[in-house]
Amino acid sequence: MLTSILPFLKDYWAFVLSLLILLFLLRNKYFNGLHKYPGPALAAYTNWWRFFDALNRRPEKTHIELHKQHGDIVRLGPNVLSFADPKTIKEIYGLNKGFTKSEFYPVQSAISPRGKPLPSLFSTIDEKRHAQYRRCVNSVFSMTSLIHYEPLVDSTTRVFLSQTEKLFSATGESCNFARWLQYYAFDVIGEITWGRRVGFLEGNEDVGGIVEFVADFLAYVGPVGQMPILDSFLNKNVLKLKSLEWGLRKEKLTTATKFAVDRASERVDEMQTIKEKGLEAVPTRSGSIDFLSKFTQAQHDHPEFMTDDLVLTSCLSMIFAGSETTAISLSAIFYYLIKNPRVYAKLMTELDNAVESGAIIDRSLVTWAESQKLPYLDAVIQEAFRMHPAPGLIMERTVPDHGAEILGEMIPGGTIVGCNAWVLHRRAEIFGDDADVFRPERWIEASPGKLKEMKATMFQFGAGARTCIGKNVSLLEIYKVVPAILGTFEIVPEQEGKEWTTHNAWFVRQLDFRVKFRRRSDQGKKKAA
Ligand code: HEM
């Protein structure tokens, strides 16, 4: 049999190969009956379409356009559907629906020195393990824990303001604001995690290339995550993993990992006490308790689950999950303020009035409680989240084996489905016909029913069991630092009318956002009021 097939293959291999490829492409197109859903023609045949769309760094724009063109369901890949109707948030991400994170997420796992992938709270697709992990660390992120982090945020904010004065305001130098806010966000999360800043702001530099490292990592994750199989040939290829496992090769510790290991070693006695006796056994430093102490407390409470390695991974993954996302959201707030002088002036009036009336005691160090009494600030922040949500791809979930009904359609098990925040946030029937315009007033004018609907459609933090666990921490940072910066400096664009450019590497980072700072005089503050 084999002897008769081999000569045939030798003569006709090109034909056989073409036939196999054709069959594979047709199988992709008609796979699971998804061919009835519209989308780019190529996307139905191969995931290379979405790989290149992500590589082009503008998929959020492509997704908005595709949904405008094709409606609420768009096929983005042979096995991938994107949904645009806000109703799908509950249907896909709702609790106990049985959907799991897709293979996009393990691409985001780090590798241990022994060559094993290290699934973090963010990247794990094992939902049972995730639930257990989340139960162990939930209290670290609760609203009541925020008071422990506020002094840590304040300390970084003080450095941010004094360095902004020294480097930019006093010298008249222009500032790469998107980068400067990245330094702030990385330093503040370092301080919340280990009680110590990494030193980006003090040095005005990317210490050990951490910011660049995270940017490169996300730039890899965006496109490769569209075809996760590629990861096993690239970052997690067998040769690399095995040579690490067998000790033939040593992975150099990244600066972030080294920083994490050093901080933990400096406090090894303190951590040992917490592990054995709990947090009450160690004195707090000026009322603050950092993540490292709290994760170690979780280890005290759940020794069977929280290992030393998991405490280290948890600390490190906060840097990855919580810095770039916060920096992007801060940039968006300032960008839209500068682009909309009317809104900027109105917000300054609110802030200056609050200082005058005593609702804010110190304009350069606004407390969390004070920030919660400023409705226009709240509207501006919500509107910036709406216009520029940090995540710029669909948050992929795999449909459970038995299939699921989404928007009245029976979607087969194993299909990858999801929503993109950029698409949901531009829905005219939810946010109004001017949904493409930055207009914070929509958050103030809305009736209670409408407001509830608008809030339920906001997707910048995801939704359901895998929603952002750091949401409260990031809101604490944002609601405090925005009024502090605005109260201290007037911010003007370096070049009037210049638009920024954006770069979608899973999270949509801003480029070319340069500004100048002028210290606000007391007179100026009174005039604006
Ligand atoms: C404005 C800032 C932030 C934004 C826009 C943001 C966005 C998100 C989103 C969209 C997800 C869900 C991803 C998905 O379902 O695919 C997520 C998850 C997560 N975020 Fe955030 N995040 C922010 C800040 C933070 C901060 C400050 C921390 C840490 C202190 C953090 C830690 C995490 C973690 C650990 C997860 C995984 C949660 C889980 O799966 O249980 N994030 N974030």
DSSP 415-452: -EEEE-HHHHTT-HHHH-TTTTS--TTHHHHS-HHHHH
| Cα separation, 115 vs 245, whole angstroms | 5
| Cα separation, 343 vs 441, whole angstroms | 9
Query: Which residue has its alpha carbon closest to ligand 1 atom 21?
Result: 468
Q: Across the chain, what does the average pLDDT equal?
A: 94
Atom of ligand 1 nearest to the CA of 329: 1
The answer on pLDDT for 453 being more than 80 is yes
Residues annotated within the binding site for heme are: 468
pLDDT band at 525 (very low <50, low <70, confident <90, very high): low
Asked whether 335 lines ligand 1 (CB < 6 A), one says no
| Cα separation, 437 vs 387, whole angstroms | 8
Residues annotated within the binding site are: 468
Average pLDDT over residues 377-396: 98
| Cα separation, 510 vs 333, whole angstroms | 12
Q: How many CB atoms lie within 10 A of CB 435?
A: 16
Please give the distance, rounded to the nearest whole angstrom, from the Cα atom of residue 510 to the centre of ligand 1.
19
Share of the chain above pLDDT 90, in %: 81
The answer on pLDDT for 523 being more than 50 is no
Note the pLDDT of residue 81. 98
Query: Which residue has its alpha carbon closest to ligand 1 atom 17?
Result: 468
Asked whether 321 lines ligand 1 (CB < 6 A), one says yes
What DSSP string runs through 181-227?
HHHHHHHHHHHHHHSS--SHHHHTS-GGGHHHHHHHHHHHHHHHTTS
Query: Which residue has its alpha carbon closest to ligand 1 atom 24?
Result: 322
Asked whether 122 lines ligand 1 (CB < 6 A), one says yes
Closest CA to 234 of 247, 223, 245: 223
Average pLDDT over residues 68-82: 98
Note the pLDDT of residue 339. 96
Query: Which residue has its alpha carbon closest to ligand 1 atom 16?
Result: 395
Strands 110-111 and 501-505: unpaired
Q: Beta partners for 504?
A: 508
Note the pLDDT of residue 162. 98
| Cα separation, 160 vs 520, whole angstroms | 16
Which backbone phi and psi does 405 adopt, to 5 degrees?
-90, 125
Q: pLDDT tens, 160-176?
A: 999 999 999 999 999 99
pLDDT band at 11 (very low <50, low <70, confident <90, very high): confident
The answer on pLDDT for 49 being more than 60 is yes
Residue to mutate, 325, 329, 393, 458, ligand 1, most ligand atoms under 8 Å from C-beta: 325
pLDDT band at 526 (very low <50, low <70, confident <90, very high): low
Query: Which residue has its alpha carbon closest to ligand 1 atom 3?
Result: 325
Asked whether 421 lines ligand 1 (CB < 6 A), one says no
Average pLDDT over residues 390-418: 97
Note the pLDDT of residue 111. 87
Name which of 94-98, 189-193, 416-420, 500-504 the model is least confident about. Answer: 94-98
Q: pLDDT tens, 497-522?
A: 889 999 999 999 999 899 999 999 75
Average pLDDT over residues 112-136: 93
Q: Are 197 and 190 in contact (CB under 8 A)?
A: yes
Asked whether 325 lines ligand 1 (CB < 6 A), one says yes
Note the pLDDT of residue 529. 44
